Structure 1
Amino acid sequence: MTIVAVAFFALILLGAPIVFALGVSAASALMAEGIPMSIVSQRMFAGLNSFTIMAIPFFVFAGLLMERGGIARRIIDFATALVGWIRGSLLLVSVVSGTGLAAISGSGSADTAATASLMLPEMRRRRYGIDFAAALMAAAGSLGPVIPPSIMMVVLATVGNLSVGDMFLGGIVPGLLMAFGLLVVGYGYARYHGGAYAEVSPFSLKRLGVAAVQAGPAFLMPLIIVGGIVGGIFTPTEAAAVAVAAGLLIGMFIYRELKWRDIPDLILRAAGISASVMMIIATASVFSWIVARENVPGHLMALLQSVSDNPWVFLMMLNGALLVIGMFMESISAILILMPVLLPVAQSYGIDPLHLGVVVVMNLSIGMITPPYGITLFVASSIAQRPITKVAAKVIYPLSIMLTVLLVATYVPAVVTALPELLSN
């Protein structure tokens, strides 16, 4: 195991892609022990030999269809009609839009890019603080993995042998609490930062009704996906395929912004994104097999229990470790490496695996707005054409509320488990 750890961190420090760091370090350890290299290909195939994992390329493709099909613009129009009359209206619209897109695509970077591209020109015209606006949009975009459907949750449920439907339901309340907190942060900032935020659009019930009707087909997507899985109508993979079909129908025949000539390019993009995720899953499965073979969970369990047998202390250490890991590592890679180790340790403390899974996802979603990795932070600052250091300095405001919700979800498990338990009865 020492060889694996040394090789992995050495490759990471040298800037090697995570997929090569995982694969090469695992293969090096096997070679050192004289184990045939054929085991690498066998374990990689075993890691991908899952019907549930097939949901990933479908969800990716569905997200791209929705992005190209005009869904983002209609959700922003609905958000503008809903909260555009409140001080700091464009900040609040950004949060509502990011939350709505999170419930459709589940991709934080794509949601951030769509919101920022459409909102920033008007924010500049009204002389908003662009650094804070970009930070807030990055935070709203990071809700994508928490609010279902979520690719990160599909991967975690597969690795941890958990119900995808329960994971989706478990993320709804924490995700909405984070969204509400970001609304409060946006309004509070606008309340105390000058007259630029005073310009609003008058509320119109008619306008809200029209926007709701136009956005209605888009908002049907999460209901179809989550409702179908929870209701036992179809599996997560079948739900993802239904999402693709619905995305095609909505984009082509309802909004009429998606054309047949767009499809080949979207398929290629979805294949490229999915292939990168699948390669990480494949190489991480070899890494995880070595971790299990060396009984790392057992050793870690003994170490932590020698420090404290209190589950609250364990959860505090877990949050601290995951927040640091999320700053440096891509989320799916972190899940694939850590969950085989964390799950048995958490169960030894009596922690519900579903509760653990959602807390892990929340921690890693926060990592999407914390430098140096901070993918949504980089996307927002790039589109805003602002230095990443300036935007990162303002992220402390939304970050504080997200950390508060994380603590609530960590130490009040019912925030995560109540809805799955209610709907399972």
Structure 2
Amino acid sequence: MAIAILFLLFALLLLIGVPVAFALAAAALATLLYLDLPAIVFVQQMAAGSGSASLIAIPLFIFAGELMMRGGISERLIALAAALVGRMRGGLGQVSILSSLFFGGVSGSAIADVSAVGGTMIPQMVKRGYDRDFAVNVSITAALVALLVPPSHNLILFSAAAGGGVSITNLFAAGIVPALLMTVVLMLTGYLVACRRGYPTEAFPGWQAVLLRTVSALPGLGLVALIFIGIRAGIFTAVESAAVAVVYAIGVTTLLYRKLGWRDFLETAVGAARTTGAILFVIAAAAVFGWLLAYLAVPAAAVSALQAIAHDPATVMALIVIILLLLGTFMDLAPMILICTPIFLPVAKAYGIDPLHFGVVLVLAGGIGLVTPPVGSVLFVGTAIGGISVGQAMRTIWPFWLAALVVLLLVAFLPALSLSLPVLLK
């Protein structure tokens, strides 16, 4: 009965439009009261869930990403992408996808990516004669790349939800090859759609311009290298790398690019604080929810249930992917990671699925939910920028959505795609 109260109340609150964090907290509190457990447990678990030292990296990476976004780095990354791939068919669409790969490494967030890159590229594509639905669809699906490129705070969340037993450094490494694969597949899809619609190419600016734009963008791209190499070499921890990233971002945007004034800095700090507050409240509420899942032995029940219907890792992975895709249609990524990790990670381990591999699959499957209605935050941001309805976008998004699904299935059933780089770098 307690399990039913926990899940049914949570689902009901989501259906009537209650924000996810409040739905999690209310369902958990109601279940605690039903079980006649002390109410102080609610407060203790919220404090414990949001008090993990590894979570300090999240607000710092968010702040660093905001600084780079407002400090001129996005314009330079887009200029570099335009020089590299603009001459392909549907050039501005290709630029949007490649820019998302570059900028994803700076922001680590799909919403920040579609806001920065999409906010620039969608109006440009519309101005150059591209259909609005194409401009929106290519931008929002390209934002999925940001979920897997360091410093993805979603991978940090997975590490925290896994109890800290999964290395953040190895997770960052595990996400790189799938991110590159997603970039290539989406660019191919964009090219085919552009050919069918007869979109133009952009003029090649010349190799000298490519070199100049590469040099100009290197400080921004260097942030990813600084974080990844610094952690891998043992120079600093993931949390320390986040602090270094903030200092580096301030230095690049104020001293080198000279685009970040005091007003911009204060607006950046306020924006990062708001985003951090929202994320940490979700983390705290999900911590109580997760504690109740463990208390009610839900993970063990999930293992038993899947063992009754599946007898090999491939079948289990297929079932988990289907469940994650369904959950992603109405649940945002952060709470989905925090809720699903304690349930499905034990199942994955029981069938010999590597936690690094499972983490990448979980984040990628949840990311596809971000561009799938009814609760698709990236979809809503993109359509708002493009000035079209969600229905208009959904009618023509299917080639890009299927491309993302193909990448998800490849990553899910070919573990080497996510595990080869961590093994190589050991």
State TM-score, norm by structure 1: 0.97
Structure 1 segment 93-104 matched on structure 2, within 5 A: 93-104=95-106
Q: Which of residues 168, 174, 177 in structure 1 aligns to 2:178?
A: 174
Verify the 8 A CA contact 1:143 1:365 in the aligned structure 2. no
Q: Deviations over 1:212-264 (max 9, x none)?
A: 01101000010011111222111111111111111111111111110123222
Determine the structure 2 residue equivalent to 1:191.
195
Determine the structure 2 residue equivalent to 1:319.
321
3-state SS in 2 of match to 1:104:
helix
Q: Which of residues 291, 307, 310 in structure 2 aligns to 1:308?
A: 310
Determine the structure 2 residue equivalent to 1:15.
17
- What percentage of aligned pairs have identical amino acids? 37
Determine the structure 2 residue equivalent to 1:368.
370
Q: Deviations over 1:249-299 (max 9, x none)?
A: 111111111012322222121111111111111111111111101111111
Structure 1 segment 121-270 matched on structure 2, within 5 A: 121-160=123-162, 161=164, 162-194=166-198, 197-270=199-272
Verify the 8 A CA contact 1:77 1:211 in the aligned structure 2. yes
Q: Deviations over 1:158-203 (max 9, x none)?
A: 1112100011000000010000011111111122212xx2342124
Q: One-letter code of the match for 1:144?
A: A
Verify the 8 A CA contact 1:109 1:142 in the aligned structure 2. no
Determine the structure 2 residue equivalent to 1:41.
43
Distance 1:401 1:320 in 2: 16
Unpaired runs of 5+ in structure 2? none
Distance 1:143 1:199 in 2: 23
Cα distance, 1:120–1:289 mapped onto 2, change above 3 Å: closer
Distance 1:386 1:10 in 2: 29
Verify the 8 A CA contact 1:85 1:203 in the aligned structure 2. no
Choose 409-418 or 5-14, whichever is displaced more: 5-14
- How many residues were matched structurally? 422
Cα distance, 1:41–1:257 mapped onto 2, change above 3 Å: same
Shift of 1:81: 0.8
Distance 1:123 1:264 in 2: 31
Distance 2:126 2:294 in 1: 53
Shift of 1:389: 0.9
Choose 205-214 or 222-231, whichever is displaced more: 222-231
Verify the 8 A CA contact 2:122 2:139 in the aligned structure 1. no
Distance 2:284 2:396 in 1: 37
Verify the 8 A CA contact 1:368 1:375 in the aligned structure 2. yes
Distance 1:119 1:284 in 2: 35
Determine the structure 1 residue equivalent to 2:387.
385
Verify the 8 A CA contact 2:332 2:376 in the aligned structure 1. no
Cα distance, 1:80–1:42 mapped onto 2, change above 3 Å: same
Shift of 1:147: 1.6
Distance 2:202 2:40 in 1: 64
Shift of 1:87: 2.0
Q: Which of residues 64, 74, 82 in structure 1 aligns to 2:66?
A: 64
Verify the 8 A CA contact 1:142 1:376 in the aligned structure 2. no
3-state SS in 2 of match to 1:369:
coil
Choose 212-221 or 301-310, whichever is displaced more: 301-310
3-state SS in 2 of match to 1:192:
helix
State TM-score, norm by structure 2: 0.97
* Structure 1 residue ranges, 4+ long, deviating more than 3 angstroms after superposition: none
Distance 1:65 1:56 in 2: 14
Verify the 8 A CA contact 1:369 1:395 in the aligned structure 2. no
Determine the structure 2 residue equivalent to 1:298.
300
Q: What's the Cα RMSD here? A: 1.2
Unpaired runs of 5+ in structure 1? none
Distance 2:8 2:89 in 1: 53
